[in-house]
Amino acid sequence: MGKVYLVGAGPGDPGLITVKGMKCIEEADVILYDRLINKELLNYAKDDAELIYCGKLPDYHLMKQETINHFLVKNGLKGKTVTRLKGGDPFVYGRGGEEAEALAKHGLEFEIVPGITSGIAAPAYAGIPVTHREHSSTFAFVTGHRRKDKEEDDLRWESLAKGIDTLAIYMGVKNLPYICAQLTKHGRPSETPVALVHWGTIGEQQTVTGTLDTIVDVVERNEIKNPSMIIVGEVVRLRDKLNWFERLIEPESELQKKVAF
């Protein structure tokens, strides 16, 4: 039998992959990779490595999860070294747990290689610390995408609204109006700061800010789409002082316009 590595490729910046994750790319016979990984990482694969694209869009899956599981098991049983390259971290909204279960079911040896998840990296690159002694002592990852086979929303909105200082919400752009409405309905002040970080950690990064009361209009006006991270909490106010990455990638002339007034 071979061995399968479920590897987190990080949030987009190729420099953020782990040393172990890079080794798994370099040594793999087969690499199954997702849409959101940085394709530059594939340049480190062996010349004869088989590359299999498993891209998924919000409303369209080129390859169903069951098919991905089948390819992992099939190649592992053939004695190959397989790397499943996933954006962010395999176990943070990456369905890595389901893939690991499929491998375990067939008695295949596997390892989990954690990656930097966008819920931490995107706000960091936008100048937003998700925890801060003066603003946030609690932090939670939340899915903003509701499963189609569930009729009821099973998120505990009251606990999220009142019990957590900072929320990092994945896959939530489409449901942003609903998310904001639920948080305010369950006790979060409407003036709570909110940021959306689009394509976090790469050159296309764009960040917009507002409040629970205004962010939907801000997002529509700026045409912010997925992939984007939603950050809710007082830590968003620190962005004005700590916005380091977008200052690096923004043209100097644009910066001069902003500071001219």
Spatial contact of 34 and 55, defined as CB atoms under 8 Å apart: yes
> What is the spatial distance between Cα 205 and Cα 249, in angstroms, rounded to a whole number?
9
At which residue do the structure tokens 């609903």 appear? 178
Spatial contact of 188 and 159, defined as CB atoms under 8 Å apart: no
Spatial contact of 44 and 33, defined as CB atoms under 8 Å apart: no
Task: Sort residue 217 into left (φ over 0), alpha (ψ -120 to 50) or beta.
Answer: alpha
DSSP secondary structure code for residue 99 in this structure: H
The residues annotated as belonging to the active site are 34, 56, 171
> Phi then psi for 106, rounded to 5 degrees?
-95, 10
Angstrom distances, CA of residue 105 to CA of 71, 73, 108, 256: 14, 9, 8, 59
